[in-house]
Structure 1
Amino acid sequence: MKITDPPRTPEQRKADLLGRMEREIDIWVATADAEGVPCLVPLWFVWHDEAVWLCTRLTNPTGRNLRDGRRTRLALGDTRDVVLVDGEVRTHPMREVPSAAAEAFHAKTGWDPRGEHESYAFFEVRPRSVQAWCEVRELPRRHLVREGVWAA
């Protein structure tokens, strides 16, 4: 997108966002522990059933923070094409992960964590807020999801 292009409509930004969720494999995951110590890591993800699904070990800071804090901020893109997702997290131990979500993750990433050590878990992130914008001219209408409801 060029600076001279008109701002995208909310419908176009939603379509662009969902396309990126299908294409991109990595997403930045921001969490904090009980003392507020931040943690930021990239993880593989899949968009499935209106949620972002992640997988990591419960024994690392990100896994513990996702499980215990039950909130995260996810980010895609660079400064010219930003996506921020604030979501509520539900932890799914390997034995309890919905098979459709695990299969979608496996199909996208090529990795099936269900065959890994039991310390791995899936994390279902339900968006409460989604913002997407390219450049400053799209900032006034950047909110695509508010309180868990799509605006477009």
Structure 2
Amino acid sequence: MKITKPPRAPEQRKRDLLDRLEKEMDVWVATAGTDGLPCLVPLWFVWHDECLWLATRPATPTGRNLRDGGRARLALGDTLDVVLVDGDAEMYDADEVPDAAAEAFLTKTGWDPRADKAPYVYFRVRPRVVQARNGEHEMRGRYLLRDGAWVV
């Protein structure tokens, strides 16, 4: 790849990140079990109240890992234009999820896990670290959020 554009300013990276969080439907969810076995799956998500909300079945490896470990790494994009989110995960049963989060999920995806016949749970992933870069030339300045606070 030939770099033809200058790196984006931090403020532009944040605007681009927030736009992606609103528009993109899928996020890669990486977790690990208590035995250290990694798991990587794509899930639908919604960005709501500065958190990513996911839904999955509680008995899946991802559901168990998020519940038991309370942490996840999420990724948007490809290797040239990537967003990485490290966050803390908190589980909500379908009857416990805040209505506003569940409605935001439904509005974005067209699916309501609360109404599904199979049991689903929601996870709120609160970002602790967010990185965004579009190519190697944006490695410097890639951290947009650290320790749960925006740095831009």
Q: What does 1:30-49 align with in structure 2 at a 5 Å threshold?
A: 30-49=30-49
Query: In 2, distance between residues paired with 1:117 and 1:143?
Result: 41
Displacement, 1:4? 1.4
Aligned match of 1:71: 71
TM-score (structure 1 length as normaliser): 0.97
Identity %: 64
Could you list the per-position Cα deviations for residues 41-89 of structure 1 after superposition, in whole angstroms to 9, with x for gaps in the alignment? 0000000000000000001100000111000000000111010000000
- Distance between the aligned counterparts of 1:24 and 1:128, measured in 2? 20
Distance 1:41 1:118 in 2: 19
Shift of 1:3: 1.5
Q: Could you say which residue in structure 2 is the equivalent of 1:134?
A: 134
What is aligned with 1:104? 104
For structure 1, the residue ranges without an aligned partner over 5 or more in a row are: none
Q: Distance in 1 between matches of 2:117 and 2:67?
A: 17
- Specify every segment of 5 or more residues in structure 2 that has no aligned partner in the other structure, as ranges: none
For 1:88, the equivalent position in structure 2 comes to 88
Aligned partner of 1:23 in structure 2 is 23
- Structure 1 residue 140: Cα displacement: 1.1
Deviation at 1:136, TM superposition (A): 1.1
CA contact (8 A) 1:29 1:75 kept: yes
Which residue of the partner structure matches residue 54 of structure 1? 54
Which secondary structure state, in structure 2, belongs to the residue aligned with residue 67 of structure 1?
Answer: helix
Question: How many matched pairs?
Answer: 151
- For 2:150 and 2:131, the matched residues in 1 are separated by 11
Cα distance in 2 for partners of 1:48, 1:136 equals: 30
Superposition deviation, residue 118 in structure 1:
6.1
Superposed displacement of residue 13, structure 1: 0.3
Does structure 2 retain, via aligned residues, the 8 Å contact 1:71–1:87? yes
1:119 is displaced (CA, Å) by 2.5
- Which secondary structure state, in structure 2, belongs to the residue aligned with residue 96 of structure 1? coil
Q: Secondary structure at the match of 2:90?
A: strand
CA distance in 2, matches of 1:149, 1:66: 22
- Give the equivalent residue in structure 2 for 1:151: 151
Give the CA deviation at 1:116.
1.5
Where does residue 9 of structure 1 map in the other structure? 9
Residue 121 of structure 1: aligned partner: 121
